[in-house]
């Protein structure tokens, strides 16, 4: 798994069936990447619901939250609409898990992303990363601490 100080690998993935998101688009903004195993599963649903309630806190730190899993765009779309999510979910679908692998957080025994968090600074460098046990929702205290530290430095 990539760690603090490393350059965040660039990528381009679909956020919706006809819209791609490139990490470079966020240069000048902090980015929180949340890799997670699967749409609809209970822990992932709680985790994404929590971030959805926290958007104003991310805004306060000039940060964009982005979820990534190997689910397809159509699955993401249904999940986002059902849970009224107001941030992008990216489909690391084809080639499957390519971006998760680049960040060192692909679980090839189950073919899903691990549950991992990265805070990337405005220059595209990883400022903080955290690997959570798959069954545990990591909450957001670590993310906010990392964003706060960025603002200090």
Catalytic residue ranges? 44
- CA gap 110, 92 in Å, rounded: 15
Q: Considering the complex, what minimum distance in angstroms separates the CB of residue 131 from another protein?
A: 15
Query: Among all chains, which residue has been given the structure tokens 């100080």?
Result: 5
Q: In this structure, what token pair is assigned to residue 38? A: 């699967």
HSE-CB at 73 with a 13 A cutoff on CA atoms is 10
**Total binding residues for another protein by CB under 8 A?**
19
Q: Which stretch binds another protein (CB under 8 A): 5-13, 20-28, 29-37, 44-52?
A: 44-52
Cis check for the bond before 95: say yes or no (omega within 30 of 0).
Answer: yes
Q: Considering the complex, what minimum distance in angstroms separates the CB of residue 84 from another protein?
A: 5
* 91 to 6, 18, 76, 130: CA distances (angstroms): 23, 12, 7, 21
* 60 to 33, 51, 144: CA distances (angstroms): 17, 14, 10
Answer for which of 38, 49, 75, 77 binds another protein (CB under 8 A) is 49
Nearest residue (CB) to another protein, 84 versus 152? 84
Nearest residue (CB) to another protein, 51 versus 103? 51
151 binds another protein (CB under 8 A): no
Q: Considering the complex, what minimum distance in angstroms separates the CB of residue 58 from another protein?
A: 11
Residues forming a β-bridge with 130: 117
Nearest residue (CB) to another protein, 5 versus 42? 42
Answer for which of 1, 16, 41, 52 binds another protein (CB under 8 A) is 52
- Give the interface with another protein as residue ranges (CB under 8 A): 46-47, 49-50, 52-54, 57, 83-86, 136-141, 144
């Amino acid at each position: 798994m990539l760690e603090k100080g490393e350059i965040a690998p660039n990528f381009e993935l679909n956020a919706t069936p006809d819209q791609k998101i490139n990490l470079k688009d966020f240069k000048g903004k902090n980015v929180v990447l949340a890799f997670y195993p699967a749409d609809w599963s209970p822990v992932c649903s709680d985790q994404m619901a929590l971030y959805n309630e926290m958007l104003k806190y991310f805004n306060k730190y000039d940060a964009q939250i982005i979820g990534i899993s190997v689910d397809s765009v159509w699955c993401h779309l249904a999940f986002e609409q059902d849970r009224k999510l107001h941030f992008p979910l990216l489909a690391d679908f084809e080639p499957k898990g390519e971006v998760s692998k680049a960040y060192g957080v692909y679980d090839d025994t189950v073919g899903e992303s691990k549950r991992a968090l990265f805070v990337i600074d405005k220059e595209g460098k990883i400022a903080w990363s955290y690997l959570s046990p798959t069954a545990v929702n990591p909450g957001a205290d670590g993310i906010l601490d990392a964003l706060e530290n960025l603002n200090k430095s």
